[in-house]
Structure 1
């Protein structure tokens, strides 16, 4: 599928962008180009040291902002597949700088869509977040809007064969700004601040996120929102896994934070199908046959009222499993 093709990743210097880069270059060496599109020149410079042009002639680095449609149209020319990973994602920063969050997460999504439609891109996969499900903060609200824009883009493409889809998942283990690297850094101080002792979160590895994006690129029919079946963890178990000897003061929930995260609400259940490894929420307006979709993917409809949230999950990480995952995916020198 990717033979002699060009793939572009917006926000390509982020945690998932770098993991996607590694996966694509390792598994699809016959691609024509892999374009890393982002606005941070320092991160691009550092990433270019990891992928020197003499060893990785396929890779290109382009400075650009998703807010700049004209730049994106130029960048997207000749591109076959777009993975949209660029976003403002820190909840408190978005609450304090709402205009900037809206410009990047909503305006940027619109620019990705229109640049893709104008340049012959074949498929677009946009990254979402569990915070976009029944959002209570601005970040989640902007990502829900972004999801809706990408899903609806399939309705305005006319006879263009392009397909837009979305992947939604929970906290990526070890990603920049997430709780595990934060706790690892705070461990040296002897205190791990706990927002709420009942707090839970979904957990997915970087590779799990990569696999999901590649699944959507290869299998999406257009308009699906994919959700992975992944375990949850309790914030207290994360703290215990990292610093059993540390103090764990309760500091209170930050603005815009939930105790439990959702990825599928009861209202979504009317449009949600079980694909085995993933759930998918299909678009209300779709351009293909539901019956054929069900046959092709052996999909089964979830029960009415079904919901999927981190506090009611059936699969849980333990303190010991978290320690093993931290050593495997975050810090191979980690010891308790």
Structure 2
């Protein structure tokens, strides 16, 4: 899949100083973008990022997705928005629920309205496996966000803005992930494991960036794109990172699942399968079967859950991934 849709375009990335944002912008600069705008609320992170990204096409815009007026100003002349800003730490969202709602839900609505009114062509919102059958507040706010972005396509009227969602699992080595935590704990000789049965979907930053670029090419508006990615056992990750370390079972934390899902049986009824990804189709009257060329409708009993995946990472594969970080 090529990424010609971003050539000569002005792209804005919310949460652009984060792990995904940096990698996406680095890739976009190699693909002929006209301009990339980093939209985030942390001036220090923007200052530090500006030391690394010296390309004149990179601009920095301090703002918060909670502030609709600031979004209206930032979206002026923007062709594509990648929405990566979120409060995503499960524990922090449980403890600060109103803050999570303001950023993850109200912020999504602000982006939708600003994008439509400013004539943005395409918006891709980054989601998470935790938005599928959520058990924690973070997942619940991201599910609401996903629903808002899908429904946003019905609000455009005579405008031409398109909204789609990308949903994937844990990102190897992203800020706040278990990998840097395990690496830090190696020196203690013990790695804490919440539950020996726990499994997770796993994707690299580079794969996540490429999947977003590919989804920009494929989108008609309203889809939730889900990549086919491997699962891993948390115990295998511990063996890969600290093979000489002992493990200590500490129990599942509030809001955690044993296994993560990305497609439920209820979603399967209107989900298409392709070679390397799935598409949850929007249930709207305007959605056309012409948009589903090449896709195979899933069986109604299908579900995509990390513990029943066909593709698993071995300890050696996990070790290779971690060493490349």
Task: Indicate the TM-score class for this superposition, using the shorter chain for normalisation.
Answer: over 0.9
Q: Deviations over 1:89-125 (max 9, x none)?
A: 0001000000000000001000110010110100000
In structure 1, the residue matched to 2:291 is 293
> Where does 1:1-16 land on structure 2 (aligned, <5 Å)?
1-16=5-20
> Where does 1:42-61 land on structure 2 (aligned, <5 Å)?
42-52=44-54, 56-61=55-60
In structure 2, the residue matched to 1:333 is none
In structure 1, the residue matched to 2:299 is 303
CA–CA distance in structure 1, aligned partners of residues 136 and 117 of structure 2: 33
Q: Secondary structure at the match of 2:193?
A: coil
In structure 1, the residue matched to 2:320 is 324
Matched, 1:159 2:161: no
User: How far apart are residue 287 of structure 1 and its match?
Assistant: 2.4
Q: Secondary structure at the match of 1:82?
A: strand
Q: Deviations over 1:270-311 (max 9, x none)?
A: 110012111010001152311x1233xx11101111000001
User: How far apart are residue 267 of structure 1 and its match?
Assistant: 0.6
Q: Secondary structure at the match of 1:248?
A: strand
In structure 1, the residue matched to 2:185 is 186
| CA separation of 1:317 and 1:286: change in aligned 2, threshold 3 A | farther
CA–CA distance in structure 2, aligned partners of residues 243 and 4 of structure 1: 45
Matched, 1:17 2:25: no
In structure 2, the residue matched to 1:334 is none
Give the TM-score taking structure 1 as reference length.
Answer: 0.94
Q: 2:164·2:223 contact (CA, 8 Å) conserved in 1? A: yes
In structure 2, the residue matched to 1:125 is 124
Q: 2:272·2:298 contact (CA, 8 Å) conserved in 1? A: yes
> Where does 1:59-70 land on structure 2 (aligned, <5 Å)?
59-70=58-69
Any unmatched runs of 5+ in structure 1?
A: 331-336
In structure 1, the residue matched to 2:245 is 246
- State how many pairs are aligned: 321
CA–CA distance in structure 1, aligned partners of residues 37 and 285 of structure 2: 30
Q: Secondary structure at the match of 1:192?
A: strand
CA–CA distance in structure 2, aligned partners of residues 300 and 120 of structure 1: 33
Q: 1:17·1:85 contact (CA, 8 Å) conserved in 2? A: yes
Q: 2:6·2:28 contact (CA, 8 Å) conserved in 1? A: no
User: How far apart are residue 162 of structure 1 and its match?
Assistant: 1.1
Q: Secondary structure at the match of 1:165?
A: strand
In structure 1, the residue matched to 2:34 is 32
CA–CA distance in structure 1, aligned partners of residues 285 and 312 of structure 2: 35
> Where does 1:83-232 land on structure 2 (aligned, <5 Å)?
83-232=82-231
Give the TM-score taking structure 2 as reference length.
Answer: 0.97
CA–CA distance in structure 2, aligned partners of residues 286 and 90 of structure 1: 36
Q: Secondary structure at the match of 1:287?
A: coil
In structure 1, the residue matched to 2:274 is 275
Q: 1:293·1:299 contact (CA, 8 Å) conserved in 2? A: no
Q: Deviations over 1:2-37 (max 9, x none)?
A: 2321000000001100110111012x23x2210000
Q: Secondary structure at the match of 2:156?
A: coil
